[in-house]
């Protein structure tokens, strides 16, 4: 992963939004698309089209990651850069 999130790093009212934005940024950068994490619209802007094709934002973002071979929920194993061992 690009970062490890400490749950005490941001207020509890922002927890879900921060996680969704992290997943959206990874999926958007892998696909080269602008991603908007607003829960009231389709997150991937397609030439001005509107409307949601997925049942939820989480499903849409998860499918973006899965299409590139990553875990659907954004979870990955982190390895030590010094020792090369898995961090637990």
- Per run of 10 residues, the mean pLDDT along the chain (length 88 residues) is 70 78 85 76 56 67 89 84 89
At residue 44, the 3 state secondary structure works out as strand
Nearest to 37 by CA among 8, 16, 12, 11: 16
User: How far, in Å, CA of 68 to CA of 81, rounded?
Assistant: 24
pLDDT value of position 43: 52
Give the pLDDT confidence score for residue 84 in this predicted structure. Answer: 93
**Confidence (pLDDT) at 83:** 94
Q: Which of 21, 13, 22 is nearest to 39 (CA)?
A: 21
> What local confidence, expressed as pLDDT, does residue 54 receive?
45
Strands (E), 34-79: none
**This prediction's pTM:** 0.59
Report domain extents, the chain.
Answer: 1-88
CA-only gyration radius of the chain, Å? 15
Q: Which CATH number fits domain 1-88: 3.90.1150.10, 3.30.470.10, 2.40.270.10, 3.40.50.300?
A: 2.40.270.10
pLDDT of residue 82: 93
């Amino acid at each position: 992963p690009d970062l490890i999130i400490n749950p005490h790093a941001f207020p509890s009212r922002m927890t879900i939004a921060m996680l969704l934005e992290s997943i959206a940024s990874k999926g958007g950068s892998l696909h080269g698309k602008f991603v908007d994490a607003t829960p009231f619209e389709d997150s991937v802007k397609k030439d001005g089209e509107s409307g949601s094709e997925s049942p939820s934002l989480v499903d849409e973002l998860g499918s973006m990651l899965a299409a590139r071979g990553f875990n659907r929920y954004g979870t990955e194993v982190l390895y030590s850069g010094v020792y090369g061992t898995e961090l637990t």
